Structure 1
Amino acid sequence: MTETTEINPETPSEITFKDLDLSPEILKSLDDVGYEKPSPIQAEIIPHVSAGRDVLGQAQTGTGKTAAFALPILSKIDMSIKTPQVLVLAPTRELAIQVAEAFQKYAKHMKGFHVLPIYGGSSYDGQLRQLKRGVHVVVGTPGRVMDHMRRKTLKLDNLKTLVLDEADEMLRMGFIDDVEWVLEQTPPTRQIALFSATMPTQIRKITNNYLNKPVHVTIKGKATTAVTIRQRYWMVSGRHKLDALTRILEAETFDGIIIFVRTKTATVELAEKLQARGYSAAALNGDIAQNQREQIVNKLKKGQIDILIGTDVVARGLDVERISHVINYDVPHDTESYVHRIGRTGRAGRSGEAILFVAPREKRMLYAIERATNQRVELYVMPSTEDINNKRIEDFKQKITTTLEANGLELFSKIIEEYEEEHNIPAQEIAAALAKMVQGSEPFLLKDMPKVRAGRDEPRDLRSHGGNREYHDKPLAKGFSRYRLEVGSDLDVRSGNIVGAIANEAGIDSEFINNIVIRDDHSTVDLPEGMPDSIFKTLKKTRIAGKAINLEQVEVEFGGDEPRKRRGNFRGGGRGGDRGGRSGGGRGRPGNNRGSRSGGGERSGGGRGRGAPRRGR
């Protein structure tokens, strides 16, 4: 039977690491790194792991779970045994490396201790040499661990503890069968510590089948993100994202940044675009060789790279102290991914900034994120052109000050002095010419603010925009209704696509399809009022650029002149065509339905029309 313990993270604890029966060497290492009190999950789990009990820990990233299992495990290591006593399975190479580094850090004062990370993409030779030499702890990804076990190069006869870190992520990545295979090959006497942010059915199944009366420790009522992380969003989509990102990078004071995108290709493309704008940026994705990926992360840690563009899987587990900002260039697929992403900043009590780019059609995910994190995501206040220009000027002045304070200006001072005497030009003008030379052809000051939101330069808070009311450039003429289509310039939709689709599906002459306005993620169009239900239903399912337009009528004020014609607008689908009824009876007028796949009959609610499908008869 599982013993369950729920922890309220807001309840203060007086427990210290010295109260947790850890070895003197471990306590000394904790003093070195400045750890004073254990986190709630550490205070609860460490005693159980020390006692040899199986543990099921349910907690989000950033709660300190690595130390929760590493510290008691290290305190029990038998240094005389040179074969693996501990195996930690992790979903990604990056997380495996991070966990191995944590073991090494905590075991700083344990002479002769060896931990080995093993993962795909790295040489077998180096791993084999270290395994032969002897290791106490192995941290690896399931696939590579299985390879070594099958080759008999990783022997687990003396295994005492098996840790499954981020089990739900291993399930999501398709490793769960591999995990079970490894579990089946390990000694039945081993202790198991399983950690997972969520408890889906298959994780519960593993718990029931392999864990022996585990203690279930979960963080109760905890916001899933650190309170030290300031969360903001900016409403932008499509081709405007890069302009918005550039503006934010100029406005924000940052140390290191991780930018999350959805695809491997996007990491490279965005890195190249930022490099072209003068930023020190690099892509990190699964197609990059492992040794090169490690070099990129090291450069980020050392300050040789300031911006890292990565995907969810690759950047998972990264713990770089100088990350001050996380920017979600692409909205994550779920709230858990968002939590993992922004957890790369604001770690260990440090402050952090998280900025989310949201397209209007993605606002539901914004609300879901707020519910999941128990925090309101603020609207980002984009700096004005004047603000950016003032900052550029101040940065330029600071560069002058820094250069003046440096040594080695004597030669250049002499050259300027000679030029001033030879050409009788003031030093101020010479300095201005030199500054222009350095700047090059790129304008120093911005002329206007880039449009970073569909339809308007200034954003509206999504929460203040209720209902289906649409803001439009032109008044609505009498006899017409305005409709919204859920396709826009993001899909390269043009007015001709909209006219063609509506004319073919609804049988409306193009002269009655008025006032098309195409925005990033949606469009609007004015159509004759009195649209029959059958045509409305057909148009709702009509696809443009592969996406259903999901037609909806919107509220607008009337104004302007009456159109030139108002009779016979719905040809083949209006009042005349409707005589055929839903069964497609009656001939109606063929109108514009040349070659239409729904020119009449049952789907358009009118007569047969030229080119109508057979089912409309």
Structure 2
Amino acid sequence: MTDTTQVRFDQLNLLAPVLQAINEMGYITPTPIQSQAIPSLLAGKDVLGEAQTGTGKTAAFGLPLLSRLDADLKQPQMLVVCPTRELAIQVAEALTDFAKHIRGLFVATVYGGQSYTPQLRDLARGPQIVVGTPGRMMDHIKKGRLKLDNLKACVLDEADEMLNMGFLEDIEWILNQIPDQTQMAFFSATMPAPIKKITNQFLTDPIHVKIAVQKSDKPKITQKSWTVGRIGKTVGLERIAEVVDYDAMIVFVRTRNDTLVLAEHLVSKGFKASALNGDMQQQDRERIVEQLKNGRINILIATDVVARGLDVPRITHVINYDLPHDSESYVHRIGRTGRAGREGEAILFASHREVRSLSRLERITEGKIEVFDMPTAEQLGQARIERTQAALVKAMEVNDLANFQAIVSQMAEQSNTTPLELAAALLFDRQIALPFHPKADPVEREFAARSDRGGRDRNDRFDRNDRSERAPRERSERPRRDNGEFDTYRFNVGRTHGVRPGDIVGAVANEIKIDSNDIGQIRLFDGFTHVDLPKNMPKPAFEKLQQVLIRKHKISPSLVTAEQAAAADSQREERAPRSDRNDRAPREFQPRRRNERNNDRGDKKPVRSFKASGEGRSRPSFEG
């Protein structure tokens, strides 16, 4: 074996177009897992790779296996099975980047939670590589849409994660469908007994590549988490940016569109922020990274893929605005700080449902995730006062203020006030946009209001075991939420089209990327439906909504006024009853909790909120 500290990619006999692609990406020296796995995979041997996340496993199997595919054969030749759809998407994007100079090579991605239509279209194109999650991959194989007759290689990525998620039976079923002569590669951070079992069953004389973790190589990163409360993610991010002492920070979100929305919002608030995503030209990406390095911007909003390998020593903080659903992405993210011997801090925003994932991340990183105390409204105001004071002191130090002192004296005399009163008025005017005494947080106000009367915290309503004295309420009695929070849209589908509220929730949440809990009332009529969605929907989201089909019918969304919505409700109530529906009101729908929905063998990720204004339940919105 070549010395792993000296070997370069151009010494590994990779296919020329693959080598060209990674050279353009700036990769010269492989990681240990890559330098050890690539030669064995190129030689056609089965490989068992045991390495921690963040060690470069995707390139370790992707580069050599790409070099063995026939781009002229429009049949699946390589299968990559991943535990989550996020990882599947990232692996597919990475393989596409590695193969960008291989003419005619196409990568398809299949996973639960997405419509079958684009997946069927991609499979019909004849992809040489198919990346996906176990449940959806099984479904396509069973129905004959994913054929394995010409398969040359099969990869299990993060095998232990799939085991932890309950995919063992699915994995075994898929592997049993693989042709006997197919090359196998399993990659796992740990090697529990079930993984050893399927290794012995399905791998033939595998080369075991094990990469030990060097404790001394670990960066000094303090990990913290904040459970998202009523102030919401975006307000929380603003507070961190205003109060926390940082040099530069990178904020990770899940989608390219989210980078633009959040960056635009922060810029509107006066922060030096910019987006970085895969839709940007390479020269624009390089320009933005250079601006981050030289201090022209201090906050970078990015997606996982484009930020991989980003090395900017002045990044002191990483904010996981959206929780990654695979541990490798988390390791990559927090690794953007604590570089060049500096200390770094990684802060994770987690919903109450996502808090359970923290123990897994602690296990993977072998580090404690502490609780992050979000700055309070009072601390925010104090930080603004101190920042204003520092700016005034600096102005006095570097400027001759004699002329301005004369103006102050003149203004005081003409207005019959004192210089102190004038200074106070100027400060008041200056702080209107960023108040020195911001309103107390919703939770703080609530506790203050209830402390004198012994009322219980509103969050107690989520205790499902504390309902003994609560009278049941009919669905028709559920009050409409504050109309100021929502815009009402008319969808041109209704009962006569066989549409159910769940169809609408699933389609809207998946397509425009909002939390299903932030969808307001759904009122079904015979030929159309009124749906309350958070106000100020961005144009890209509305354009996506216009393409949505429900029950094979285009929904053709359009805004309706409050008067039009009320009139439709009134007319529906005044209609003559049909058969046994004597008292039927416009149908209203309260989205179910996610754990009440039918599952898809774990392939579905939690639907995330699109909005940039935070995800507190008090004010769902698309606004920045």
TM-score normalised per structure 1: 0.49
TM-score normalised per structure 2: 0.48
Higher RCO, Cα 8 Å, sep 6+: 2
